[in-house]
Amino acid sequence: MASPYTASAGHAAPRADAAPGTAPDLAAVAGLLADDTRARFCLALLDGRAWTAGELARHAGVAASTATSHLNALVRGGLLTEVRQGRHRYVRLAGGRVAAVVEDLAALAPARATPVRTLSAAGRRRALAFARTCYDHLAGTVGVAITDAMVGRGLLDDEQGLSLTPDGADWLAGLGITVPRGTRRPAVRPCLDWTERRTHLAGAVGAALCAHALAARWLTPAGTARALALTPDGHTALRTHLGLDLGAAAGPAAGTTGARLSRS
């Protein structure tokens, strides 16, 4: 049985290079994200997980048939890919390059005035702004603060773009963080944060650091979307390893205090 999300002929995923004499069809990709429902799908999928059509339909508040139609377009356009598990079909972003495009566009987009009518909704918004995953790396107040602290301590060099220094490589090794080698993915890449409007660390180093923070339970899922909560162990680790003080409270509420470098 053919998948409802299978790309049709002539609609391959975006390539890094184009054949001689051709030009990239930027308008086609932009058109995919020009629809509010498709944009909501892509933003939700920044959590790095695979979602079903039904889950995305409920998230965006649209009918299942409408969701399927939009997902067909996103898969044909190469922004999403299908994942099969038994009888179930899921979709996810088609890699880190697509996630970077979505996050960068979100940072450039004007803020949408969405009224917050409940305390729980306000809490979810604060949690998402404080710490969250951006595909496979850390974002929000915590992600930007970690990046700034790494630059301040000479672990990252931001003189010409962003790069990992020898001290940074030693620091990662000291934490037991292994960065995969031999891949086409850049080791370090700046990613524009859509809530902070500043860059946080992406690339293979950003992904490895995020994976370590979650495995060590410095950060844990906050129970809403991509939001993460900073644990007491996380507060201690960031203070010890980066001199960061993100507030006394453990969890999303710490985002209200702001980040600062410890003077101790």
So what's the pLDDT on residue 117?
Answer: 60
Over residues 24-37, mean pLDDT:
88
Helix axes 64-76, 53-60, angle to 10 degrees: 110
Give the whole-angstrom CA distance, residue 45 versus residue 48: 6
pLDDT, tens digit (0-9, with 9 covering 90-100), for 94-114: 988 888 888 888 877 776 655
pLDDT level of residue 155 (50, 70, 90 thresholds): very high
Structural domains present in the chain: 26-94 (1.10.10.10), 120-258 (no CATH)
Q: Is 9 a residue whose pLDDT tops 80?
A: no
pLDDT, tens digit (0-9, with 9 covering 90-100), for 191-245: 888 788 888 999 999 999 999 999 999 999 887 668 899 999 999 999 999 999 9
Q: What is the DSSP string of 109-125?
A: SPPP-----SHHHHHHH
Rounded to two decimals, the pTM is: 0.67
Over residues 76-103, mean pLDDT:
87
